[in-house]
Structure formats: structure tokens, C-alpha cells
Amino acid sequence: MSTARPAAVVVLAAGEGTRMKSATPKVLHEIGGRSLLGHAMQTARAVDPQHLVVVVRHGRDRVAPHVTEVDPDAVVADQDDTPGTGRAVQCGLAALPEPLEGTVVVTYGDVPLLQPDTLTELVTVHERDGNAVTVVTAEVADPTGYGRVVRGPGGDVLAIVEQKDADETQRAVREINSGIYAFDAATLTEALKKVGTDNAQGEMYLTDVLALARDAGGRVAAHTIDDVWQTEGVNDRVQLARMGAELNRRLLEQHMRAGVTVIDPSTTWVDVQVELGRDVVLQPSTQLQGETRIEDGATVGPDTTLCDVVVGEGAHVVRTHGSEARIGAGANVGPFTYLRPGTVLGEDGKIGAFVETKNAQIGKGSKVPHLSYVGDADIGEGSNIGAATVFVNYDGVAKHHTSIGSHVRVGSDSMLVAPLTIGDGAYTAAGSVIVDDVPPGAMAVARGRQRNVEGWVQRRRAGTPAALAAERALAAQQAQQTERPEPQQTEDQPHAEQQDPSKGEHTE
């Protein structure tokens, strides 16, 4: 389709939205991780207008900056005290350089599912047929509240009549005005000068432009669409949820058609900006938010929420809550894992069960498998952090960094008190509080040596189940020794390696 650039798209967003019952202006409420107005502006921009104008009034202090944030080139126009969609468009046009020539498209800031293709089609039909006005209409089951399309005997569009101004015959019409239009700029400007406020609501109705354009000899036509969702506005939070669910359903359908497996679409939620590779599998109860990207063949879920997270090819992320993190290809995360901002896990690495990470770069093949906190740290490649290790990064006033080399083995239940550096290939003994740097290849031990006080339980806890169990065990040992004075050492009963602190220190 070759269509000239529309002169402008005017997005109306000055209304109050009282039915939302919210401190937040209606058009700033979100579905799919984007404001209603953001959706409307995205669609408007997609038809490449020379000017994109957003008309604001209620909640201006928050809506206007949002407009600029979404699209720095958009023009913010203020509506004055005169109410109505007609006045809103007039105020929008007043913000543009004169004379405006060509096609002006009008849309609403609270209609989030309108698609660029629909607008392109509207403009194409409008220009092809040389219309003065083309209005997007739809047949709905319940037209209550909408403006009705009044057609002549030959099917010509004569006018739009608002619900409150309509007679009984007009109210029975099920073809409604969506509020989306293409206008010839000159016709629109001239007609708006004649629009008054003599109606049930005392407002300047944009819909009056249709009859005025006809009177001036212009062609007025309807462009009817079947996909009613695209014309639906959000007025309250019930509609907000309904539209959000429909948007999600549509997004998931697109992803599935592009090669993503979604096990349970009804419990899977994706934001508009989420990118999913081929053969990605989304397990039930997965929410992917913001600019999350899941690369080919990765599996996410069940029960996982990721916001602005990148998951590399073939990685598995199970029962995880994460934000602003990067997971390398082939890596494993979860279950029950909390990834905080700045977490970067290398290829084939692992962040396992009940582990929290923050601002932590964990190298290729390195593992933090169980019950640990890793904060403000970098870890080289192929290192293993034993279960229940804590990176003690906070001294009560400031945060400090820990640097761990490659192929390091940190013993279970270690406290690594930052600032700290552990060199390549070093080991630490389980249960150590490591406060000093460990050179490459060293074994750091920082704990009291074990002392066994023999017979303590039988003496001090005499008669308890513990004491009785100990007595039985010792008696059995003695009996065995009398039977076999020189007991054989088997593999199951190794010598206690009292001097080697690495014994049983590590978990993988």
C-alpha cells in the first residue's frame, strides 16, 4: 500500500477518567507493561505522520512529561475550558503550523489495542476514495453509551448521534462510532469553526463534523472493521483487566506462531517488549516483563517472574524471581532463586536453590548451588561456592566488593567478609570466617579446632535417650573389638583425616 504521510495524528487524552477511581491519570494505567497512552502513541507513530499531537488537560503535570518520554518528537497540546472531543481536536490543530494540508487522523489515548495496520488501511481508503471524513465503525452487540452511525436509505453515512441525543430508532442502531477518524485537514478546520455546544452534554462534539462536512459537499464514509477489540476504550478497571488479558492473549498467540511453546497461556503473561527465541518453552505461571529476552531453546518457569532479564540459549530458569540480570547460555537457575539487579551468570553456570544474588558477575561454569547470598562480587570461571556461603558485603555503613578467582573452592558455610580477594585455585575450609585475602592455591582455615570431650553425654545427661544410645553404641564397639582384635579398615570407614581441613568441606 502506498499512502502519503498523514499530515498529523491527533491523540485525544484530555478526559478525566473518573471511573478509574485513581490518583493516576487514566491514560497512564498500563497493560502489557506499557501505558494506555503509550500504546496509542506507538500506533499513531507507526503510520509515520508529519506531526504527532497529544491533547492533554486532566493530570497534565504527569501526562505531558509521559508524552515526551514516550516520543520526544510528539507535540503536547493543551485543551482549554471548553469541553468535548471537537474542542480537543481544535486545540490539537492549533498547536501545529498552518496551513495544514492532507489527512488528519484522530485517535484516543485510552484505546490501546488499535493496530497500525488498521490506521494505515483507514488512511488508504480515505485518500483513495477522496473522502472528506472517514470514520471507523463497528457492529457491536451492546451499543449503549456509544455514538450511533446514522445512514441514509442508500447506506450513506449522514451523521453520528450521541446516545444522550439519540431518539429510539437511532438508539436501536448497533453500528457504533469508534472515535477513530481520518479527515481532510481543511474540511476539519472549517467545520470545527461551526461546531457548537447545543446538545445534551453541552460539549463541542467532534461527531458534528460529519454532518457539517456533508453540508459542505464533502464525501463522508465509514470504514467498518470486524475486530471490535481494536476500537474498545478503557473507562474503568474492569475494562483495564479485560483489555490487558486480550492483549496478552494476542501477544502469546504471535509468539506461539513464531515457534515458542507456551504450556499454559492462561497463566503466562508477557509484556509487549519481551522477545522470545525459537523453541523457547514457557512453563505455567510465568511472567516476563519489561525488556526481557529469552534466547533460543531456553526454558523458563514454572512460577517465574523476570523483569528486564536476558536468558541465554538453552538455559533453564525454574521458580525464580529476577530483575535486571543476564543468564548465560546453558546455565541453570533455580528453583527458589532471587536474582537482583546486576547479576550476570556465565555460560553453563549455576545459581541454585535458595540463593540470592546482587551485582554479582559469576564466570563461565562457576556454581553457587545452594542457600547462599552473593552480593557485590565477581567470581572467575569454574569456581564452586559451597552451600550456605554468605558474601558479607555490608559493614553497616558501606558496601564492599569481593573478588574470587577461577577454579576456587569455597567451603560450605563460609562468611567472606568484604573487601576480600581470593586467588585462583585457592580453597577455603568449611565454616570459616574469611577476613583476609587468600593467595592463589592456598587453603584458608579460619575456625576453632575441634575437641571431643569423651563420655560427656553419659555423665552430664545420664539416662536420656542420647546417653542410652551412646552407651549401646560403645558397648557394641567393645564387643566387636573382643571378637576381632585387629579390625580391618574398609572403604566405608576411612581414617579420620584430622589434619586435612578440606575433608567434607565442599558441596556441589
Let me know if 370 is a catalytic residue: yes
Task: Please choose, from the candidates 20, 24, 22, 80, the residue with its C-alpha nearest in 3D space to the C-alpha of residue 56.
Answer: 80
Cα(251)–Cα(289) distance, integer angstroms: 13
Instruction: Tell me which residue has its CB nearest to ligand UD1.
Output: 147
- Look-up of cell digits 494505515: 120
Give the one residue of 90, 162, 240, 337 binding ligand UD1; rule: CB under 6 A: 162
Max CA distance (Å), the chain: 120
Task: Assess contact for 244 and 31: CB atoms under 8 A.
Answer: yes
Contacts of 416 (CB under 8 A, 6+ apart): 389, 390, 391, 392, 402, 404, 410, 422, 428, 434
Using the minimum distance from each CB to Ca ion, give the nearer residue, 177 or 428: 177
Measured CA angle at 277 (ends 273, 281), to 5 deg: 100
Using the minimum distance from each CB to ligand UD1, give the nearer residue, 128 or 164: 164
Q: Choose the one of Ca ion, ligand UD1, none that binds residue 15, judging by a C-beta under 5 to 8 angstroms depending on kind.
A: ligand UD1
Write the single-letter amino acid at 424: D
Least distance (Å) between residue 3 CB and ligand UD1: 24
Task: Please choose, from the candidates 379, 381, 383, the residue with its C-alpha nearest in 3D space to the C-alpha of residue 391.
Answer: 379
Using the minimum distance from each CB to Ca ion, give the nearer residue, 49 or 233: 233
Is residue 92 close enough to count as binding ligand UD1 by CB under 6 A?
Answer: no
Q: Is 16 helix (H, G, I), strand (E, B) or coil?
A: coil
Least distance (Å) between residue 119 CB and ligand UD1: 16
Cα(112)–Cα(43) distance, integer angstroms: 9
Q: Choose the one of Ca ion, ligand UD1, none that binds residue 34, judging by a C-beta under 5 to 8 angstroms depending on kind.
A: none
Cα(418)–Cα(342) distance, integer angstroms: 18
Give the one residue of 44, 67, 70, 88 binding ligand UD1; rule: CB under 6 A: 88
Is residue 179 close enough to count as binding ligand UD1 by CB under 6 A?
Answer: yes
Least distance (Å) between residue 98 CB and ligand UD1: 21
Give the one residue of 86, 218, 233, 314 binding Ca ion; rule: CB under 5 A: 233
Contacts of 321 (CB under 8 A, 6+ apart): 304, 305, 306, 337, 338, 339
Cα(350)–Cα(260) distance, integer angstroms: 24
Give the one residue of 147, 301, 328, 411 binding ligand UD1; rule: CB under 6 A: 147
Interface region with Ca ion, contact rule CB under 5 A, candidates 26-34, 38-46, 227-235, 329-337:
227-235
Is residue 233 close enough to count as binding ligand UD1 by CB under 6 A?
Answer: yes
Helices (H) and strands (E) in the chain, counts: 10, 39
Task: Assess contact for 147 and 211: CB atoms under 8 A.
Answer: no
Using the minimum distance from each CB to Ca ion, give the nearer residue, 233 or 369: 233
Q: Which three cell numbers stand for residue 105?
A: 487522523
Give the one residue of 8, 9, 10, 14 binding ligand UD1; rule: CB under 6 A: 14
Total of residues contacting ligand UD1 (CB under 6 A): 26
Q: Choose the one of Ca ion, ligand UD1, none that binds residue 369, judging by a C-beta under 5 to 8 angstroms depending on kind.
A: none
- Catalytic residue (choose from 29, 126, 370, 506): 370
Contacts with ligand UD1, residue ranges (CB under 6 A): 12-15, 55, 79, 83-85, 87-88, 108-110, 146-147, 160, 162, 176-179, 205-207, 233
Active site residues: 370
Contacts with Ca ion, residue ranges (CB under 5 A): 233
